[in-house]
Structure 1
Amino acid sequence: MRVSADAAGTVALGRCLADLLGPGDTVLLQGPLGSGKTTLAQGIAEGLGASAATSPTFVLIQEYRGGRLPVYHIDLYRIESEVEAWALGLTDYFYGDGVCLVEWPERAPALMPDDAVVIQIEFLDGEGRRLTFRATGPRSAEILRSFDERC
């Protein structure tokens, strides 16, 4: 668990996590509207060398190339069923050459990879956020062990 006092702190956590991610890694971002999922995704994207990451809510998937790894930023907020998510071809992104950042993964849980870093973001008083990290497999567990040591 980490506590971030403000948006800059959330971005910094994302940048640090980015240093530990490799091709095929997935980060699932959970939390209520306005909790900082996109802010954390921006930090991860910046850490991977992408610039000007924005929320993909209205386009569903934003691709950022030109950094250390491609970044696939996926926002499932507007998805109403797993069938609709499947039609987007999400699984093609999960096992590719880049890093996937998925906001609202609970909208299509059956499509999420078995091994992912899950980050739950909760509001604290004021601007603060509590970020709880969980691994769902061996690769994500390795990432989080390194995160605990370095970040």
Structure 2
Amino acid sequence: MKTVHPSLVLPDPDATLRLAQSLVPKLGAGDVLLLEGEIGAGKTHFARGLIQALVDEDVPSPTFTLVQTYDAPDFEIWHADLYRLSHPDEALELGLTEAFDTALCLVEWPEKLGSDRPKKALTLRFSPVGDGREVQFLSDNSDWVARLKEHTDV
């Protein structure tokens, strides 16, 4: 994967929310965000902020349900947490591959997808840095370079 945008240091949880909210206008049906990072790195916090910028609903972690779906005004949102899966076929059984084409998908622990990881996806890799986190933007799809080019600072 190639870096498609300079990494950002997010000094606190509010900066993570601002990043999520700032990406909303650039996203739509068929977009896939793969959220990587260790436990506590900010993946769910980011996803929750992004989803709540689109729908006025409580956004629980999908750790136990595996997938939560939401109806945004123009498309469906799928928030998946694959941490508990033991084989990539289990992700297929959830219907994720179909959702990759029709919904905005936020996928935590995307390494569990194995070879079914979508090529068009944008990976956000979260790493702890002091009291905050750093996020790297990675993709094999050059479209993301243009879409993130005018991204403003958080």
Q: RCO greater where, 1 or 2, for CA within 8 Å and sep 6 or more?
A: 2
| Displacement of 1:42 | 1.1
**What pairs up with 1:85-124 in 2 under 5 angstroms?**
85-96=91-102, 98-124=103-129
**What pairs up with 1:1-150 in 2 under 5 angstroms?**
1-96=7-102, 98-126=103-131, 128-147=132-151, 149=152
Question: So what's the TM-score if we normalise by structure 1?
Answer: 0.89
Question: So what's the TM-score if we normalise by structure 2?
Answer: 0.88
Between structures 1 and 2, the one with greater strand share: 2
Q: Secondary structure at the match of 1:56?
A: coil
Q: Secondary structure at the match of 1:95?
A: helix
| Displacement of 1:109 | 2.8
Deviations 1:100-126 (A, max 9, x none): 000000111311211111100000112
| Displacement of 1:51 | 2.7
Deviations 1:84-141 (A, max 9, x none): 2222221011001x21000000111311211111100000112x10011112213333
CA gap 1:136/1:54 in 2 versus in 1, 3 angstroms: farther
| Displacement of 1:145 | 1.9
Greater CA deviation, 64-73 or 26-35? Answer: 64-73
CA distance in 1 between partners of 2:40 and 2:82 (Å): 15
* Contiguous gaps of at least 5 residues in structure 2: 1-6
CA distance in 1 between partners of 2:129 and 2:69 (Å): 31
CA gap 1:77/1:54 in 2 versus in 1, 3 angstroms: same
Question: Any conservation in 2 of the 1:94–1:100 contact (CA below 8 Å)?
Answer: yes
Question: Any conservation in 1 of the 2:54–2:72 contact (CA below 8 Å)?
Answer: no
